[in-house]
Structure 1
């Protein structure tokens, strides 16, 4: 394997000159720069990026910490982050924390020790001192970290309100919200929107806490329908919960949407592929990942940011689990 000294010898220059070309620091004559680049190509030289990051205190690495990559929502976020980072010459290191604080802390230590230039984080823990005291840029994605840390999210409250009002307009008289985990900001905000709309309309409602998981949600929905068989509308905390609700209903012979209407949240591809296809509140998932990455790169390059919170709008997509008007 070729070394930097081999490149210097082939190009007829000093090691320091090769280093300046690689790191784009200092003045190097155009002819000399061309000779160095030619030598690099001929020798198929690969720079030692670890050594370069130690010298420059920069690695061109962005750490992306996500809580659960088995949830289809998060790979779509990751794809957007990777696409934008690549355009700007950064490499993304994906870390799946499983929602575990110790595992999250381990990844955080590894990323900072390897001089990651910045972090994009989706965590279940708000006001986490591990992030507040970092000396590298951090952007919170989907869930807030701290008021001092820039955040990119969707309008969870507005989406919850929109979904509930939609079910009521479609004739639902007793609605349930099978929500996501408690003390998780997106789940809390969607629930708040649900309660606001249901109370304003004077419609009886019931709330069940679940996880963003199909298996657990099937059990929760089954218990819900055992206890309250008159429920004719369910606002699910995300599309996975919506899938669970539809599965349970169909197994019981409950007609969708004639006897029970279901609406989800997220807009993951599964919601359109599942039968019957699921009416859902669509988050701009890819755009959220794009926005977070551009925001982080602005911070890394000291461009500054004009707003701490970027809340992107959601939209409702009608499919087969709700009634058509008229």
Structure 2
């Protein structure tokens, strides 16, 4: 029986190559590769020698090199526009859980609402030979060619390999929000959202406007980003511009919480003086006091669809280009 070479403790922090592992285990490099990839039969005694050396050396296979050989890295890129937005955090949590169960790993990239950063991440992910990309883009007007399959979530875009687009029914969400505020007595509503820059916010505005037109209401709106600070600034402007406002359709739950803070500081009571409705139904929308009425996006379903179609594409299953629109739901709580 061939013996395994003893490994010094000081050498265990070294980055070993597959050839060095083979030498230490007294086997060929091909045998080590077969053990690592579990690709074909290896005598049990040799297998155990290789495993022992791998454990003693803390050897980590080069995933990029293996991906070039196997044509699969088992890695999927996930690019979000803002890591501070809880919607993308919760979505990423579900995506990572499903990926892990399917033996895939997720690399999270935060573009910070910067299109150039988004492109740089895409180039880097391609260089890493990732199997695919799940993307919420920061710019829906520009095109970019990729060599990997792309699934867009939340916002549509024109990437060459964009095979599947998954989003909530944003138009209906705007309509439902306006309808609910109207039913609770609001006649002077205002819509807050980044409708001049984000396609999904524009769809929600259109739904809101449609309800207002049907019911002969003035469809008032104010540009507002998705961050907490955006909500604070927009709410200050709204109180000066629309003094008779009695209901606000907010860009998302975080903006709604920011609006509540400003209303509280101005001694305005929610929902008695002004009613608030958010969007997303993130975890904190139920945790705040008063709890937030909101339009729920099916976050888990978006993640399940994204991972299902991505894995189908990676596994070469036939995919017809799809534009998937998932239903939204009104969640009534204490701010209306």
Partner of 2:217: 203
Partner of 2:7: none
How far apart are the structure 1 equivalents of 2:301 and 2:47? 37
1:139 paired with 2:165, answer no
Structure 2 residue matching 1:303: 3-state secondary structure:
coil
How far apart are the structure 2 equivalents of 1:197 and 1:57? 51
1:1-326 to structure 2, matched below 5 A, reads 1=12, 3-5=17-19, 8=22, 13-23=27-37, 25=39, 28-29=40-41, 32=42, 34-43=44-53, 44=55, 45-130=59-144, 133-146=145-158, 148-306=162-320, 308-322=322-336
- The verdict on how the C-alpha distance between 1:183 and 1:219 changes in structure 2, with shifts beyond 3 A counting, is closer
How far apart are the structure 2 equivalents of 1:245 and 1:319? 16
How far apart are the structure 2 equivalents of 1:225 and 1:33? 77
- The verdict on how the C-alpha distance between 1:33 and 1:72 changes in structure 2, with shifts beyond 3 A counting, is farther
* Aligned residues of 2:276 and 2:292 also touching (Cα < 8 A): yes
User: 1:18 Cα shift?
Assistant: 3.1
How far apart are the structure 1 equivalents of 2:180 and 2:151? 33
- The verdict on how the C-alpha distance between 1:33 and 1:64 changes in structure 2, with shifts beyond 3 A counting, is farther
User: 1:154 Cα shift?
Assistant: 0.9
How far apart are the structure 1 equivalents of 2:94 and 2:192? 29
User: 1:169 Cα shift?
Assistant: 0.9
TM superposition score normalised by structure 1: 0.90
Could you list the runs of 5+ residues in structure 1 that have no partner in the other structure? none
The runs of 4+ residues in structure 1 deviating greater than 6 Å are: none
User: 1:13 Cα shift?
Assistant: 4.8
Deviation sequence 1:202-247 (CA, Å, 0-9, x none): 1223100011122222221222121221111111111111112212
Measured on the aligned residues, the alpha-carbon RMSD in Å equals 2.0
* Aligned residues of 1:266 and 1:281 also touching (Cα < 8 A): yes
Considering Cα pairs closer than 8 Å and 6+ residues apart, tell me whether 1 or 2 has the greater RCO.
Answer: 1
User: 1:181 Cα shift?
Assistant: 4.6
User: 1:276 Cα shift?
Assistant: 1.4
* Aligned residues of 1:265 and 1:282 also touching (Cα < 8 A): yes
* Aligned residues of 2:208 and 2:219 also touching (Cα < 8 A): no
How far apart are the structure 1 equivalents of 2:300 and 2:321? 20
How far apart are the structure 2 equivalents of 1:319 and 1:227? 27
Aligned residues: 316
* Aligned residues of 2:279 and 2:295 also touching (Cα < 8 A): yes
